[in-house]
């Protein structure tokens, strides 16, 4: 179990980027909770494409292109875990 302090930067980075992209793209977001389905967040696939590219630039990796991806994240909680796991 990782500590809150360790996971916070990734979580914060992701949620702040989501908010920034939504604002840029003129999207209205629903409240960002862990069980929120990504497809219902208010972002479209282009927004997610931008999100993944910016996160790659900020964190230095893109978990979607690593070879051992077994399933894509469905909820925001999955998405954050996906990045946390890749960062380990």
Partner 1 sequence: MPPSDVTSLRDYLGATPHCLNHFLWSPTSSIALGELVHGSTLGDKLPMLSGRSVLITTRDQLTTALTLIELDGVVRRLTLCPPDLRYEYLPSLIAKADIDAIVSDNDMEHHGLGIPLLVKCALEIGPRVEIRLDRTPTEWVLLTSGTTGLPKMVVHSLASLTAAIKTSKTESPPVWGTFYDIRRYGGLQILFRTILGGGSFVLSSVAELLGQYLVRLGANRATHILGTPSHWRRALMSPAARVISPQYVRLSGEIADQAILDSLRLFYPQARIAHAFASTEAGVAFEVDDGFEGFPAKIVGPRSGNVELKVDDLSLRVRSPGTASGYVGREDSVLADDEGFVDTGDIVELRGNRYYFLGRRGGVINVGGFKIHPEEVEVVINRHPAVQMSSVRSRKNPITGSIVVADVVLKAEYCSGTNVSSAGVKEEILRICRDLLPQHKVPALLNFVPDLDLGAAGKLARHA
Q: Smallest distance from the beta carbon of 4 to partner 1, in angstroms?
A: 28
Exactly one of 4, 31, 35, 57 binds partner 1 (CB under 8 A); that residue is 57
Rounded CA-CA distance 21/3 in Å is: 28
Contact 12, 58 (CB under 8 A): no
Exactly one of 49, 58, 61, 85 binds partner 1 (CB under 8 A); that residue is 49
What is the contact surface with partner 1 in residues (CB under 8 A)? 24-26, 45-46, 48-50, 52-54, 57, 62, 64-65
């Amino acid at each position: 179990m990782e500590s809150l302090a360790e996971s916070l930067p990734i979580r914060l980075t992701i949620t702040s980027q989501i908010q920034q992209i939504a604002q840029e793209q003129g999207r209205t977001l629903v409240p960002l909770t862990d069980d929120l389905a990504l497809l219902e967040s208010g972002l479209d696939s282009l927004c997610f494409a931008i999100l993944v590219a910016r996160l790659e630039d900020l964190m230095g990796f893109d978990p979607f292109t690593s070879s051992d991806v077994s399933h894509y994240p469905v909820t925001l909680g999955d998405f954050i875990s996906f990045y946390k796991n890749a960062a380990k």
